[in-house]
Amino acid sequence: MPGAICALIRFLDPHFRAPIRRLPIAMILMPRCAKPSPVSAPCPILQATLRRGGSCALPTCPQARPDRRAMPFKLRQCRACGGAVTDILDLGASPIANALLSEPDADPPRYPLGLVDCAECGLVQNRTALPDDLLFAPDYPYFASVSAAVRAHADDIATALASHLPKGATTLEVGSNDGAVQAALAQRGITAIGIDPATGPALAARAKGLTVINAGFDARVVDQVLTDHGPVTAVHMCNVLAHVNTPKQLIKNAKSVLAPGGFIMIEVQSWRALVTAGAFDMVYHEHHAHFSLGSLAALLRDAGLGIKAVEDIAMQGGSLRVWCQPDTAHSADIAPAIKAEAAALADAPARLDAALKRFRGDVARFLHDLGDRPLYGYGAAAKTVTLIAASGCDWPLQAVADAAPSKIGRYLPMGGVPIIAPAALEARAPATLFLFAWNIAREIAPRFAGSRIMVPVPHLHELT
C-alpha cells in the first residue's frame, strides 16, 4: 500500500523528489491546493481535517505544527515580479544545508533542490521555498567574522561606504550577522544599526557593543528604526537580497528609512560569475535567488531605485556591488552592460547542467581511485552539503574541518560527518583533503602543504 501511494504521488507531481518514506502519512494523503501562490492560505479541502483537530502540513499554513512542515512549496511564480517560471536545473534533493546535526545518526528531511528562470524579469530562483524559521533557526551556525577573507571583505565594504559618507553618519545594515561590517564602520567614525534574524550572530554582535535588531526587516522593524534612530544616510546589504523570499518588499522597506539624499548599496553573488565557474554548489535552499545585473536592475527599477554605479567584486567567486538612489533612472551605461550580459548567459542552463554531469562523473572516478584510503574535508559550509548531495555518491569522509566554533562538534546533515577544528585536522596530516570551501583556498591551502588538495570548482582538480 505505501508503495502504491508513493507511485501515485510521483505520477501526480514528477517534480517532487523528496524521499517519500520520510513524510508523515497525513502529508502523503494531503490534497494539493487549487491555487498555489508564494503566500497561500490553507487548502480549503483540509478544513474538515483541521476542525477534527488535525494539522495542516503546508509550510505556509499558520496552523501547521513545527514538526509537520516537511512538505516544500514548489515555486510557481517569480518572487520578484510574479511572472511565470521554468525549470532550468535539477540538483535532486538535499537537506537544509546549514541545519547541522547534534547526533550523527539523525535523519533530516530532504527537499527538492534546483533552479527556475523567470520569463518576465530573468531572475533565476530556487524552485523550493522553505520558511525562514527553518532556514534561519536559533542555532544558525554561520558567523561572518570567523573567516579572515570575510573580515577583509567587510573592511573593504566599510572603506567603500565611508568614502560616500560624512563622519558621524548613521547607516542601517540589513543582514548584519555578527557585526563584521558594523565594527569596521565604527573604526571609521560611522554608526551602523544592524538587523539580522539569526539569533546567535546577533548576540555575538551585541557582545561587541554593536546595536542589532534581532528580527527580519519587516514593517514593524521599519517603524522601530525610524522611532529609535530616525532616518539613516545609507542602507547597505551584502549577500542578503538572495536570502529573502520577497526581495521587492525588502528594497521598499530600505527606501522607507532613508533620509533625503541618502543611498542604498547592495552586494549580491553574480549569476554570471556562477555560470562561468560552473559553481552550482552556490545553490542551496537559503539562496532564494541568483541575481544577474539584468534581473537586479529590473527589481530595483520596479521598487523605485536607480543604479548609479556597478562594480565587479571578487568575493564569493564573483559578485556585483551596486550603488543606488531612490526615484531615479538607471545610469546610461547600465542598459549596454545588461545587453552584453544577456548574450553571455544565453546558454547558462546547458552550461550548468554540463558542469553538474561532469562533476558527478569526476567524483565517482575520484572516489573509486581513492579506494579505502582516508578522506578528509575542509569547510562545513552550505556548498559542502550541495556538492555531496548533488554528486549522488557515498563519500567516505572521516571528518570535515571548520574554523567556526558554532560548527565544531556537530555533524553535516549528509552522512553525519563529524565537524572538527582545523588544528585537529592538521594534527591528522591528511594525505588527501577535499577543499569544499574553494572560495577561501588561499587562506586554507598553505596550512596543508603536505596534503593532496582537491578543489571542485571550476571542475574537480588537484590544487597545485
Residue 122 and residue 218 in one domain: no
Could you read off the pLDDT of 170-213 as tens digits, one per residue? 999 999 999 999 999 999 999 999 999 889 999 999 999 999 99
Report helix, strand or coil for 370: helix
For the chain, what percent of residues have pLDDT higher than 70? 84
Residue 292 and residue 155 in one domain: yes
Residue 151 and residue 126 in one domain: no
pLDDT of residue 12: 38
Angle separating helix axes 334-344 and 293-302, nearest 10 degrees: 140
Average the pLDDT over 56-62 and give the result.
34
Q: How confident is the model at residue 34 (pLDDT cuts 50, 70, 90)?
A: very low
> What's the total number of domains in the chain?
3
Among the candidates 74, 109, 135, a domain finishes at: 135
Please check whether residue 15 lies inside any domain of the structure: no
Asked if 303 contacts 405 with a C-beta cutoff of 8 angstroms, the reply is no
Q: Could you give the C-alpha distances from 19 to 66, 108, 297, 320, 356, in angstroms and in order?
A: 19, 11, 38, 36, 21
Could you read off the pLDDT of 289-325 as tens digits, one per residue? 999 999 999 999 999 999 999 999 998 889 999 999 9
Could you read off the pLDDT of 116-172 as tens digits, one per residue? 999 999 999 999 988 888 888 778 888 888 888 889 999 999 999 999 999 899 999
Residue 90 and residue 154 in one domain: no
Residue 85 and residue 158 in one domain: no
Could you read off the pLDDT of 396-455 as tens digits, one per residue? 999 999 999 999 999 999 999 999 999 999 999 999 999 999 988 888 999 999 999 999
Q: Which three cell numbers stand for residue 370?
A: 581513492
Higher-confidence position of 440 and 252: 252
DSSP string computed for 303-358: TTEEEEEEEEE-GGGSEEEEEEEET-PPPTTHHHHHHHHHHHTTTHHHHHHHHHHH
Tell me the residue ranges of DSSP E strands in 78-211.
85-94, 111-118, 124-126, 128-129, 170-174, 191-195
Asked if 60 contacts 74 with a C-beta cutoff of 8 angstroms, the reply is no
Average the pLDDT over 241-247 and give the result.
93
Higher-confidence position of 388 and 70: 388
CA gap 198, 175 in Å, rounded: 9
CA gap 53, 30 in Å, rounded: 15
Alpha-carbon torsion (163, 165, 167, 173), positive or negative: negative
Residue 217 and residue 126 in one domain: no
CA gap 139, 51 in Å, rounded: 34
Could you read off the pLDDT of 259-282 as tens digits, one per residue? 999 999 999 999 999 999 999 999
Among the candidates 298, 319, 348, a domain finishes at: 348
Domain limits at 209? 144-348
Please check whether residue 14 lies inside any domain of the structure: no
Please check whether residue 353 lies inside any domain of the structure: no
Residue 88 and residue 236 in one domain: no
Among the candidates 348, 381, 405, a domain finishes at: 348
**Which 8-state DSSP code applies to residue 104?**
T
Asked if 140 contacts 200 with a C-beta cutoff of 8 angstroms, the reply is yes
Residue 421 and residue 377 in one domain: yes
Could you read off the pLDDT of 75-122 as tens digits, one per residue? 889 999 999 999 999 999 999 999 999 999 998 999 999 999 999 999
Q: How confident is the model at residue 72 (pLDDT cuts 50, 70, 90)?
A: low
Residue 242 and residue 102 in one domain: no
Task: Calculate ∠ Cα 23-25-30, nearest 5°.
Answer: 95
Residue 11 scores a pLDDT above 70: no
pTM, rounded to two decimals: 0.81
CATH number, position 182: 3.40.50.150
Please check whether residue 447 lies inside any domain of the structure: yes
For the chain, what percent of residues have pLDDT higher than 90? 75
Residue 120 and residue 235 in one domain: no
Residue 164 and residue 251 in one domain: yes
Please check whether residue 238 lies inside any domain of the structure: yes
Q: Which of 356, 404, 350 is nearest to 381 (CA)?
A: 404
Please check whether residue 8 lies inside any domain of the structure: no
Q: Residues near 254 by Cβ (< 8 Å), separated by ≥ 6? A: 172, 174, 217, 235, 237, 264
Tell me the residue ranges of DSSP E strands in 138-257.
170-174, 191-195, 212-213, 232-238
Average the pLDDT over 229-237 and give the result.
97
Could you read off the pLDDT of 326-361 as tens digits, one per residue? 999 999 999 999 999 999 999 999 999 999 999 999
Please check whether residue 186 lies inside any domain of the structure: yes
CATH number, position 394: 3.40.50.720
Residue 67 and residue 186 in one domain: no
Please check whether residue 397 lies inside any domain of the structure: yes
